[in-house]
Structures are given as C-alpha cells and as structure tokens.
Structure 1
Amino acid sequence: MALGNGTSITQFILQGISSDPHVQIIIFVLFLVMYLFTLAGNLLIVITIYVDSQLHSPMYFFLCNLSLLDLSFSTVTVPRTLVNYLTQSKTISFGDCIAQVFFLHFFGGTECFNLTLMAYDRYVAICNPLRYNTIMNRRACLVFVVFTWVGGFIHACAQAFPVSQLPFCGPNEIDHFFCDDHPLSLLACSRTFLSESTDMINTGTLSLSCFLIVFISYAYIISAVLKIRSAEGRKKAFSTCASHLMVVTLFFGPSAFIYMRPPVTFAGDKLISVFYTIVTPWLNPFIYALRNEKVKKSMMKLGGRKVSLSGVHMN
C-alpha cells in the first residue's frame, strides 16, 4: 500500500500496555494462555461441527463461522504483541500497520454481522418456529454468511484507506498494543475530518446498530421464554440468553465506547480494547459451545472415536 501524501514515517513503535518489565511478564503469560485456549477451543468447535452431521444446522453453521472469525480476529493482534514483549522489538512497518488496521476491522466487522445473524437465527427459531426451516434454509444461510464477510470487507476498506492517506511526519510512537485508526490519527501531521468522521460513523454506528438489533432480538426471545410453562425450561433458556448477552456486551460495548467519539488520548482505551480483541474470542467457546449439551456430547464422541482409532492402529 502506498504511503499517504506527505508521509515520511516508514515504521511505528508500539508502546504496548505497560513499560514495566514485571507487568510485561504478567501480560505475556496471560495473553499467551488465553490465546492458546482461544485457538484450541475454537478449532475444536470447528472440527466437531464439521465432523458430526447432527450439528449441520443453521445455528451450528453460524457458530462454526463465529469460531473461524474468533481465531482470525485474535490472531491479528495477539501474536505480534507476544513477540514484541518477548523480543523487546516494538517496531512495525507502515505497511504492516495499515494491514493490521484492515484485518482488525475486516474480522471485527464480520464478527459484528455474524453475532447479529446468530441472534436473528435464535429469534426466528423461538418466536417463529413453524416458519424456521423455510426462513433459515440452506441457501439463505449461505447468503447470510457471505453477506457478513462482504460487509466486513467493505467496512475494513472504509476504515483502512482514509488512515493510510494521512500524512505522518513524526513522532512515530503509537500509544497502544496494536495499530488502529484512533491512535494513528493522533500521530498524523494534520488531522482530517474525513478520517475521524469515518471512525465514528462506520465502526461506532456499526457496533451500536448491531448491538441494538441483538438486544431487541433477545428481548423478543425472553418474552417468548416467559410463556414457557416449565420452570426448568425457563431457567435454562434464561441462563443461555444471559450468557450470550454477556459476550455480546463485552464485544459491542467497548467497541462502541472507543469508536463513537473523536480520537483522544485516553489511557483506558488499551485495557478496554483487550475485552473485544482477546477476552471475547477466548470466552466464546465456553459460552456458545462448551455449555451446549449437544456440542459437548459430539466432542466426547469425537474424542472417543480418536481413541478407538488409535487403539485399532496400535493393534
């Protein structure tokens, strides 16, 4: 990608979350453990859903897409952060920085759409069960998922291109642990209304709109759940809804807070960003799959099959 007009900076320095060596060790270990669990949990979900034909339904299809997105989304920021703490080399080239902005918003925007789609799927399943198979047929599901990825791509282009055209002439220290529009805008030689407006209108509005749609969908779902006669059924449904809303809030809430305001220096932004870039991808396997009895049984079945095959091979 060509450098922006008037840009003399060829690389940036990512300051990270803390400059304290002891705190850096804690952050490194914590991020590493969470990232490994994110990889293992989401890969296990993808393999389980792919292998077990009983999980080939719209809900698990969208869950599989979510797991792929979580893998990709966390990989955009965490590995480089770990390498920076390990090697103490915090530099990142201009091109790599803009690429990180693009893929951060590509996978993040796609996940916004996918979480909204998952909420809509549950709304149709619970509030309109007789028409569920008609509305959420195979072709419709494929179209919906393609839309999420195309929407994420368009969103990422709208975020990365304006910031790539900003003039950077120094300083080059980014007060963050990854490259993003806001910290980069603060380093530009001249602030542009277009870039700042794009941040607020595009990412901020996207996060807030998707969250409102999800919230309204679950409001209808809860209303339908209240009509369930079984107390145990209501308790189980409420538990599931509460868990899903918690993850959605951790993802959309921080995003809306950061992007629905002009770029300003705020120390808390780095910690807030941890929630939607690292914590949410780590939590999703526990919330959406490992608390799901059907998925857990499929995983146990898959594990038993591997053990059985190993025994046959050894014999």
Structure 2
Amino acid sequence: MSSQRALGVAVVGTGKMGADHVRRLSDVISGARVTAVVDIDAERAKSLADGIEGCTAYTDPAVAMAAQDVDAVLIASPGPAHEAALIEALRRDLPVLCEKPLTPDAAAALRVLEAEQRLGHRRVQVGFMRRYDADYLKLKKVLDDGELGRTLMLHQRHRNPAMPEWFTEEMLINDSVVHEMDVTRWLLDQEITAVTVHKPAPSAKAPAGMSDPQFVLFETESGALVGVEIFGHCGFGYQVHAEAVCEHGTVGIGAEHEPLVTTGGRWGGRVTPDYLERFQDAYDREVQAWVDATRRGEVTGPSIWDGYAAAAVCEAGVLSQREGRRVEVELVERPALYG
C-alpha cells in the first residue's frame, strides 16, 4: 500500500466499541478511512455504513477482508469471535488492531500466536489502550527512569458505576481486571506468576449471585505484590487509579482532572461516567499510532504475546475466583518473535 493514500480499514463488530472506532477513524484521526463495517446484524452494519462515503456493509469478516479497498482490519467484535477473524487476517497477511481480549482463553491465544509465527513477522497489535494514556505514560517514565528504585508494590483501583445485566462474575476478571494485568506487566516489565482473588462481603448494589467488589492480588517475577480493587457496581462513576510503592518513594496517577468547585458550604467535582470518556484520548492515540505504523509497514504496541500472557493470567484469576485459592500462572516459553 502506498504510504501517501489513506489506509482502508474494515471494522469488525459495530457495537459500542466498534461504533466508537468507526467514528474515530472517520472523524478524529488522520491517514485512514473506513471502507468496510462487519456485523452479524446486517441492518446495524448497513445503517452505519450508509453514513460513510465509500463504505460497504458485510456480515462475514472473511468476505470483507477479501475486498480490494481493505488494507487493514480493526477487530471490535465479542471476544469469542476474535480467533476466527484473526486467523483469517493472518492468512491474508493483513495488519490488525484487535480489541482485548485477544481471545477468551489461553489455548486460543496460542493458536493465534502460532499462526503469526508461521507468517514469520508481526501483524497484530492488541488493544490495551492504557499504554497510550497520558497519565500511565508519565507513570511508566518515572518507573523506567529508576530514581525511585525498584517497585515493591503496586496499588490499583478499577471502579465502574454499573455493569450490563449480562455481565458475569468471571467477566470482572476477563473483561475488567485484564487491563490491570496488562499495565502491571508493562509498567514493571515482568510477568505475573500467581493470582489470588479475595471476596469481601458484597455490596448491596451487587447483582444476585455476583460477589462485588473483589480484591485481586498478583505476584510477579521479581517478588513485587500488586493489589487490584475491582468494583463493578460502585454506583457513582468510573475511576481508575494506580500507585507504585518503590524503594525510594511513591508515584501515583488517577486524581480527577475536572475542576474542583467550592460553593454553598460544599466542595467537589465531577466523576467520569464511563471508560469511553475517561480513556478517549488514549483510544485516539492508540488508533493513530496503529495507523501510522501500518502505513510505514511496521507493527508496534502490545503484541500477540501480551494478549496471550493476559489470557493466561485471566485463567488463573478465574480459577482462584472460583476456588478461593492462590493459582500459579502457566506460560509457554516466549518466542523470539516477541523478544
């Protein structure tokens, strides 16, 4: 593909996340255009495509990927559909940005990893957008600079006002804490070796049959301990915080950036309502970086190995959640392609 023309992107999945990426590719970032949208709901895909010049609606990802005007693929469909779309994209040697999870389980992630290895070069970037968030980038820089010494502990909080009715207890790990799994590996530059899930008394807001909130403890290769509070139904807004406790000091992110108002004997500010608003800039930077790298013929950002490692930690987390015990994480040897 000529680096001078816009990258033609097929967006697979047109739900909340996919539709937001269509908007982003069409109206926010540069160097790309949406040439195809794919969804099993034909009417939803057509409705979205009709609003974009030169865009075609499809119900089959493979048919969309075969189109002449598709240069790259952004996968935002539900996790169980990712493996088939990824394998098809790799078969066609198409660049991919795949929303997390890479796949719902480690075995499927390994199959995708093996397919990319057979190709002999990286083609897939996994959508862990927190790596592109301004606050997380600042935190990463402070830790990498080394002035604070080794990171001994990492405290993280992840709160949502509420979850959809179909959201299960396992999804607290697989769809929410998975972000903390990735940023832990990225911030500390090491693998997570074990997971223990603790369940305090559930909130009155927790749905029947769900223990919410939960506290998740990671152990890492260096012996660092990482605590994650996941609260799916806190009721008051969306919050993400992280604080690293190091040998020579601490560094934290997540303080609200909204104006602090004092009036009428009260003070306070606004809490972000959802993840799309909180991480809007991070999503923009992530997709722009993917488009720019793809037009240069490169692949940057989180790799299939990162997606596989997160899936393996998720499996350990769900087992700990279910059985109430410490579970070690099992990983295959890291291939040279992801060194």
Range into which the TM-score falls when normalised by the shorter chain: under 0.3
Higher helix share: 1
The structure whose RCO (Cα within 8 Å, separation 6+) is larger is 1
Larger Rg, first or second structure (1 or 2): 1
Q: TM-score, normalised by structure 1?
A: 0.21
